[in-house]
Amino acid sequence: MERKRLSKRQFLRLSLATLGVAAAGIRPFRSLAKNLTDMNAGMSSPPGGPGKYSRESLYYVLTPKGVKCQLCPNQCTLREGQEGLCRNHVAYGDKVYSIAYGNPCSVHIDPIEKKPLFHYLPSSESFSIATAGCTLACLNCQNWEISQVSPKTTNNVEMFPASVVDQAVRNGCRSIAYTYSEPLSFYEYTFDTAKLARARGIKNLLISNGYINEKPMRELAKYIDAANINLKSFREDIYEKLNGGSLEPIQRTLKILKQEGVWLEITNLIVPNWTDRMDMIKEMCEWLVAEGFADYPLHFSRFFPLYKLTSIPYTPLATLEQAYTIARKAGINHVYIGNVPGTDYENTYCPKCRKLLVERRGFTVTSNQIKKGDCGYCGARINGVWY
């Protein structure tokens, strides 16, 4: 039976417990923003143009029409002072600069399960950062307050790559997550921080839409340990109309991460009337299995009415359960349903003996029967990084 649509008050109350989102922005698990703001009292938002919070881009070319950014498939050609579609990259003096370098607008400590990463270092904490900006323009974005604006307009804190790594170490975090908005839009900041983190023994997590060109993705993948990629649909026309992008680059990113040995989990947000077609979900799951992703977790996520899609109801549980069944029948061994409190769909079961291995409640692991990567009952190997 389909549940009644949430009122705005009910939705906000529920979203605090599930999505971690508040009306005024991201609701952290454990926030460092206050302390960092106090440390940098009086610091203004970054000025336009090359400066303290700018870094020359690694991927651009000068053309007769302007400077062409080659970071993502948007391929923005920019005149002097123009911002790219991501709002993070700007043309100055025949060069492209990132203006989102060392100036995050969100700094939190989260459980790794919130990313979501269920098969990678369970119960650990991740130092999580984001700047403003995104390579896509999703109508349903849950963090639009920071993803669809420029770093010049957000409230930022000063934290250059070395400081990010230092803070992660001091707070006992095993990983740094580049997350919330789109880490590929603040690529230079992500890349430099990830290199320093790797040298210090801190893991790097990429929580991303995967919308990037091949060369920069391969270079970054050398320093990324785990990723959750949002595969938003399996139709080019939906990607164009709903997200402002295209499907093929995301498929390529998934393949690159697998080739480069990055632990990978995939999220598919099911938006009513947009991405809830079961034939498309079946095709997506069959493609994932055919490409060797059967043992990588697939998270189906419930949509809540947000940003420019507030008139659409939240995803019925029955729709999510139907997608779950399709994925399991297609041969995906670890399928989860997220943003639905009080169900067992976030638990991990052995694909061989079907015993309950990892029980989760919210972002907390309440029991774990995986022993050195194997099922504690039948000994089957459970794909992931468990310790």
Instruction: Find the mean pLDDT for residues 326-352.
Output: 96
In which band, very low, low, confident or very high, does the pLDDT at 59 lie, cut at 50, 70 and 90?
Answer: very high
Question: 266 in a domain, yes or no?
Answer: yes
- In terms of Cα–Cα distance, which of 141, 145, 170 is closest to 155? 145
For 115-153, the pLDDT digits (tens) are: 999 999 999 999 999 999 999 999 999 999 999 999 999
24 and 113, same domain (yes or no): yes
Per-residue pLDDT tens digits for 203-260: 999 999 999 999 999 999 999 999 999 999 999 999 999 999 999 999 999 999 999 9
Domain membership of residue 215 as a residue range: 8-37+102-346
Q: In this predicted structure, what is the pLDDT of residue 314?
A: 95
Same-domain check for residues 157 and 134: yes
Pair (362, 228) in one structural domain: no
pLDDT at 50 (0 to 100):
75
Angle at 19 between CA 89 and CA 184, to 5 degrees: 20
Residues 209 and 304 in one domain: yes
Q: Are 270 and 302 in contact (CB under 8 A)?
A: yes
Name beta bridge partners: 338. 301
Res. 30 pLDDT band, cuts 50 70 90: low
Q: Answer whether residue 48 is part of any domain.
A: no
pLDDT band for position 32 (cuts 50, 70, 90): low
Residue 44 lies in a domain: no
> Of 332 and 341, which is predicted with more confidence?
332
> Is 45 within the bounds of a domain?
no
Mean pLDDT of 50-74: 95
Could you tell me if 329 and 370 lie in one domain? no
Same domain, 117 and 20: yes
The CA distance from 373 to 378, in Å, is 12
Residue 277 has pLDDT above 60, yes or no: yes
Indicate if 338 and 359 belong to the same structural domain: no
pLDDT at site 13:
40
Q: CB burial class (10 A; 0-12, 13-18, 19+) of residue 203?
A: buried
In a domain, 90, yes or no: no
- Give 2's pLDDT tier (boundaries 50, 70, 90): very low
Is residue 337 within 8 Å of 298, Cβ to Cβ?
no
Q: How many domains does the chain have?
A: 2
The residue to which tokens 């059967």 are assigned: 294
pLDDT of residue 18: 37
Is residue 96 included in any domain, yes or no? no
In a domain, residue 84? The reply is no
Supply the CATH number for residue 263's domain: 3.20.20.70
Contacts with 274 (C-beta within 8 Å, 6 or more apart), sequence order: 140, 233, 238, 242, 312
Whether residues 253 and 376 share a domain: the answer is no
Predicted pLDDT at 49: 53
Are 341 and 359 part of one and the same domain? no
Sheet holding 226-230, edge to edge: 30-31, 106-111, 125-130, 175-178, 203-208, 226-230, 263-270, 298-302, 335-338
Same-domain pairing of 234 and 367: no
pLDDT digits (tens, 9 = 90+) for 346-363: 999 999 999 999 999 999
Which tens digit of pLDDT belongs to each residue from 42-58? 333 344 457 899 999 99
The reported pLDDT for the residue numbered 31 is: 64
Is 43 part of a structural domain of the chain? no
pLDDT at 197 over 50: yes
Residues 270, 383, single domain; the answer is no
Q: How far is CA 337 from CA 146, 191, 267, 323, 328, in A?
A: 26, 31, 9, 9, 12
pLDDT of residue 69 exceeding 90, the answer is yes
Residue 366 and residue 268 share a domain: no
